[in-house]
A and B are shown apart, each in its own frame.
Chain A
Amino acid sequence: MSISALLSMGRCCCRCCCPRGLWMLSAPCCDDRRMCVCPGPRRIGIPIRSSSLPLFSDAMPAPTQLFFPLIRNCELSRIYGTACYCHHRHLCCSSPYLAQSRLRYAPHPAYATFCRPKESWWQYTQGRRYASTPQKFYLTPPQVNSILKANEYSFKVPEFDGKNVSSVLGFDSNQLPANAPIEDRRSAATCLQTRGMLLGVFDGHAGCACSQAVSERLFYYIAVSLLPHETLLEIENAVESGRALLPILQWHKHPNDYFSKEASKLYFNSLRTYWQELIDLNTGESTDIDVKEALINAFKRLDNDISLEAQVGDPNSFLNYLVLRVAFSGATACVAHVDGVDLHVANTGDSRAMLGVQEEDGSWSAVTLSNDHNAQNERELERLKLEHPKNEAKSVVKQDRLLGLLMPFRAFGDVKFKWSIDLQKRVIESGPDQLNDNEYTKFIPPNYYTPPYLTAEPEVTYHRLRPQDKFLVLATDGLWETMHRQDVVRIVGEYLTGMHHQQPIAVGGYKVTLGQMHGLLTERRAKMSSVFEDQNAATHLIRHAVGNNEFGTVDHERLSKMLSLPEELARMYRDDITIIVVQFNSHVVGAYQNQE
Chain B
Amino acid sequence: MADYSNKLYHQLEQETGIQTGYIRTGSVFLAQTQDRLISLKRINSRLNVIGIPSEIISPKKVAELHPLLNVHDLVGAMHVPEDAVVSSADVALALASAASQNGVQIYDRTSILHVMVKKGQVTAVETDKGQIECQYFVNCAGQWAYELGLSNEEPVSIPLHACEHFYLLTRPLETPLRSNTPTVVDADGRIFIRNWQGGILSGGFEKNPKPIFTEGKNQLEIQNLQEDWDHFEPLLSSLLRRMPDLETLEILKLVNCPETFTPDMRCIMGESPSVQGYFVLAGMNSAGLSFGGGAGRYLAEWMVHGYPSENIWELDLKRFGALQSSRTFLRHRVMEVMPLLYDLKVPRWDFQTGRQLRTSPLYDRLDAQGARWMEKHGFERPKYFVPPDKDLLALEQSKTFYKPDWFDIVESEVKCCKEAVCVIDMSSFTKFEITSAGDQALEVLQYLFSNDLDVPVGHIVHTGMLNQAGGYENDCSIARLGKRSFFMISPTDQQVHCWAWLKKHMPEDSNLLLEDVTWKYTALNLIGPRAVDVLSELSYAPMTPDHFPSLFCKEMSVGYANGIRVMSMTHTGEPGFMLYIPIEYALHVYNEVMSVGQKYGIRNAGYYALRSLRIEKFFAFWGQDLNTLTTPLECGRESWVKLEKGMDFIGRDALLQQKQNGVYKRLTMFILDDHDTDLDLWPWWGEPIYRNGQYAGKTTSSAYSYTLERHVCLGFVHNFSEDTGEEQVVTADFINRGEYEIDIAGHRFQAKAKLYPVTSLFTHKRRKDDVELSDLHGK
Contact = CB atoms under 8 A, between A and B. Distances in A.
A525 B247 contact: no
A127 interface: no
Contact of A513 (B227, B239, B250): B250
A518 B240 contact: yes
A53 interface: no
Given A518-B236, A518-B237, A521-B236, A513 B230 contact: no
Given A507-B251, A507-B254, A514 B239 contact: yes
Interface residues on B, range: 20 to 34
Interface in A495-516: 499, 502, 504-507, 511-515
Interface residues on A, range: 10 to 19
A522 B233 contact: yes
A524 interface: yes
B112 interface: no
Contacts of B253: 507
B226 interface: yes
A192 interface: no
A511 B249 CA distance: 10
B759 interface: no
Interface in A517-555: 517-518, 520-522, 524-525, 528
A499 B254 CA distance: 20
A517 B229 CA distance: 9
A513 B245 CA distance: 11
Contact of A511 (B233, B239, B246, B250): B250
Contacts of B247: 513-515, 518
B240 A514 contact: yes
Contacts of A504: 226-230
A507 B252 CA distance: 8
A505 B229 contact: yes
Contacts of A507: 227, 229, 251, 253-254
Contacts of A521: 229-230, 232-233, 236
B248 interface: yes
Contacts of B249: 513-514
Interface string B252-280: 01100000000000000000000000000
Interface in A42-78: none
A513 B248 contact: yes
Contacts of A502: 230
B495 interface: no
Given A518-B236, A518-B237, A512 B250 contact: yes
A196 B571 CA distance: 60
B239 A506 contact: no
A329 to B, nearest CB: 49
B230 A499 contact: yes
Contact of B170 (A505, A506, A514, A520): A514
B230 A524 contact: yes
A548 to B, nearest CB: 22
A507 B246 CA distance: 17
A515 B230 contact: no
A506 B229 CA distance: 8
Main secondary structure of the interface of B (DSSP, over half): helix
Contacts of A518: 233, 236-237, 240, 247
A82 to B, nearest CB: 36
Contact of A514 (B228, B230, B251): B251
Nearest to A525: B233
A512 B246 CA distance: 12
Contact of B236 (A514, A524, A528): A514
A96 to B, nearest CB: 35
A174 to B, nearest CB: 27
A526 to B, nearest CB: 11
A218 to B, nearest CB: 43
A506 B224 CA distance: 14
A33 to B, nearest CB: 35
Nearest to A504: B228
Contacts of B248: 513-515
B230 A517 contact: no
Contacts of B250: 511-514
Nearest to A499: B230
Interface string B151-185: 00000000000000000001000000000000000
A518 to B, nearest CB: 5
Contacts of A499: 230
Contacts of B237: 518, 522
A89 B230 CA distance: 35
A513 B229 contact: no
Interface string A80-106: 000000000000000000000000000
Contacts of B251: 507, 512-514, 517
A518 B239 CA distance: 10
Nearest to A520: B229
B236 A517 contact: yes
Nearest to B200: A514
Contact of A515 (B227, B240, B254): B240
Contacts of A520: 229
A215 to B, nearest CB: 39
A500 B440 CA distance: 64
A525 B227 contact: no
Contacts of B228: 504
Contacts of A522: 233, 237
B548 to A, nearest CB: 50
A521 B170 CA distance: 17
A499 B246 CA distance: 28
A505 B233 CA distance: 11
Contacts of B240: 514-515, 518
B236 A505 contact: no
Nearest to A524: B230
Interface string B206-249: 00000000000000000000111110110011011000001111
A575 to B, nearest CB: 36
Nearest to A509: B253
Contacts of B239: 514
Nearest to B244: A515
A499 B240 CA distance: 25
Nearest to B229: A505
Contacts of A511: 250
Contacts of A517: 229, 236, 251
A524 B230 CA distance: 8
B204 to A, nearest CB: 14
A175 to B, nearest CB: 32
A515 B251 CA distance: 10
Contacts of B227: 504-507
Which residue of B228, B236, B249 has the most chain A CB atoms within 10 A of its CB atom? B236
Nearest to B226: A504
Interface in B559-615: none
Contacts of A524: 230, 233
A445 B753 CA distance: 101
Contacts of A506: 227, 229
A514 B229 contact: no
A523 to B, nearest CB: 10
Nearest to B168: A514
A522 B236 CA distance: 10
Interface string B446-484: 000000000000000000000000000000000000000
Interface in A356-376: none
A177 B518 CA distance: 59
Which residue of A499, A514, A524 has the most chain B CB atoms within 10 A of its CB atom? A514
Interface string B720-735: 0000000000000000
A520 B229 CA distance: 10
18 contacts: A499-B230, A504-B226, A504-B227, A507-B229, A507-B251, A513-B250, A513-B251, A514-B239, A514-B249, A514-B251, A515-B240, A515-B247, A517-B251, A518-B247, A522-B233, A525-B230, A525-B233, A528-B230
The 5 closest A-B pairs by CB, nearest first: A515-B247, A521-B233, A505-B229, A512-B251, A514-B246
Given A505-B230, A521-B236, 6 more contacts: A502-B230, A504-B230, A507-B227, A507-B253, A514-B239, A514-B249
